[in-house]
Amino acid sequence: MNMHTFIDFIMGEMVIVSFVIFIAGTCGRLLWTFIHINKTENFIFSYLSFKYSLRSILAWLTPFLPVSSRKKPFFYSISYTFHILLFIVPIFLLSHITLFEEYLNWSWISINDTSADILTIIVILCTLFFVTRRVVVKEVKYITRTSDFVFIIIASLPFITGFLAYHQLFAYKIIMIAHVISGEIMLILIPFTRFFHMFIAPIIRAYTGSEFGNVRGAKDW
pLDDT tens across 6-24, in order?
Answer: 877 888 889 889 999 999 9
* Interval 148-173: pLDDT, tens: 999 999 999 999 999 999 998 888 88
Angle subtended by helix axes 3-11 and 13-40, to nearest 10: 40
Q: Answer positive or negative: Cα dihedral of 93, 97, 189, 13.
A: negative
Give the lowest-confidence range in 25-29, 187-191, 217-221: 217-221
| pTM across the whole model | 0.86
Cα distance between residue 201 and residue 212, in whole Å: 16
Nearest C-alpha neighbor of 220 from the set 80, 49, 77: 49
**pLDDT one-digit tens code per residue, 59-104:** 888 888 888 888 889 999 999 999 999 999 999 998 889 888 887 7
Which one of 3.60.20.10, 1.20.950.20, 1.10.150.80, 3.40.710.10 gives the CATH number of domain 3-31+66-215?
1.20.950.20
